[in-house]
Amino acid sequence: MLRIFLIFFSLFVATSCSPGDGNENTSEDPTAGENPDEGEEPGPETNEPPEEPDFYYGADLSYVNEMEDCGAVYKDQDGNNADPYKIFAEAGSNLVRVRLWHDAAWTNYSDLADVKKTISRAKAEGMRVLLDFHYSDDWADPAKQEIPAAWEAQIDNTEALGQLLYDYTYDILEDLEGENLTPDIVQVGNEINPMILQKGELQWPINWTRNSSLINQGIKAVRDLSAEKNAGIEVMLHIAQPENGLWWFEQATNAGVTDYDWIGLSYYPIWSDYDLDEVSTPLSNLINTYNKKLMIVETAYPFTMQNADSANNILGNDALVPGFEASPEGQLGYLNALRDVLVEVGAGGLIYWEPAWVSTSCSTQWAKGSHWDNATLFDHDYKATLGLNFYNGGLND
């Protein structure tokens, strides 16, 4: 790596938080042990999304179902209680991102039943869907790519492991397609800077013979299902931070990983080598070199420095970008500025990471509350902030 960015998450373990750390139910959580999706059928009636927009205005809403079960009642900018999916759709959002873990026994969320609920709600509001396979039982990110426990016996058998990955990816998509919940874009892995499907401490350098074989099996599963069902699903590969995309996609291409449609990037200025006024350089480089569409699939910005609970906030004063204070106006300004950079270089979208991960009485793996409550698009009273107006750009697409 150009910079040892694998501390992306391990940095937060030291402060009891992480940008991938989740607000998952633990023994402190009053809803722990209850499956909110039990007995529920995803709604078959959906509003079909329009043709692919020129630019995706997206929101990762993976936490919403859990937050509502934990007592959050979202409000629009007028202070009226409203369905959060409707709030985003009416603001102009045209894409919802949702994560999927393989078998996360420690939480009732981000499993297939929960993902079906999210996709159903997103499609009911006419929004497209990006499905994020983590290929892990927990958070996968630059600091860890932990193999699902069910696959661990095959960790040294690349062919067998690739078949497990293929079958799992295919079966999930086939199940979703059978319920009219087919995603429009699929991430084959989450922040896959390191080699995927490892155990414990990460191995460097990447074994590209193994890594390319596994990634290509995931891609093939998406392509096969999409062709058989005439589904038109696109494939995305997701790397944390633009500077890491520069070396990763070069190595991946040399190793034969080329059959994808989207370059997905996480971009948080606090953890990047590139400031906001410099980031167009690596983005242009990636677009022009690989002739792929590009989307920032994770970013966020604080609307305040106040903490609503005992869970440490991840984004502090060091996350601020010159010219954009920690305020609703600063939050909106940052998003609009990053959007303008993306449009200028010909990128195809921007997704806000967990804009609805508000503070509740439920617990994460580290503390009670939310580690993101100062960086959501809802204030501490659950009312939509001015930052939600970022999505207004999608109303004209």
pLDDT of 91 above 60: yes
Q: If you average pLDDT over every residue of the chain, what do you get?
A: 90
Neighbours of 91 (CB within 10 A): 21
Reported confidence tier of residue 102, pLDDT bands at 50, 70, 90: very high
Residue 119 and residue 304: Cα distance in Å, rounded? 30
Active site residues: 191, 298
The sign of the torsion formed by the CA atoms of 316, 4, 252, 290 equals positive
Reported confidence tier of residue 365, pLDDT bands at 50, 70, 90: confident
Mean pLDDT value of segment 241-264: 98
- Own/partner contacts of 99-102, CB < 8 Å, gap of 24 or more, are 99/60, 99/62, 99/132, 99/134, 99/190, 100/131, 100/132, 100/133, 100/134, 100/172, 101/134, 101/136, 101/137, 101/138, 102/134, 102/135, 102/136, 102/137, 102/148, 102/150, 102/151, 102/168
Whole-number pLDDT of residue 396? 79
Q: Are 258 and 26 in contact (CB under 8 A)?
A: no
Whole-number pLDDT of residue 48? 57
Q: Are 214 and 159 in contact (CB under 8 A)?
A: no
Residue 100 and residue 119: Cα distance in Å, rounded? 12
Domains and CATH numbers, the chain: 56-395 (3.20.20.80)
Rounded to the nearest 10 degrees, what angle do helices 158-178 and 208-229 cross at?
30
Residue owning tokens 């039943």: 113
Least confident piece of the model among 15-19, 145-149, 369-373: 15-19
Reported confidence tier of residue 242, pLDDT bands at 50, 70, 90: very high
Mean pLDDT value of segment 288-301: 98
Whole-number pLDDT of residue 52? 87
Mean pLDDT value of segment 120-139: 98
pLDDT of 352 above 90: yes
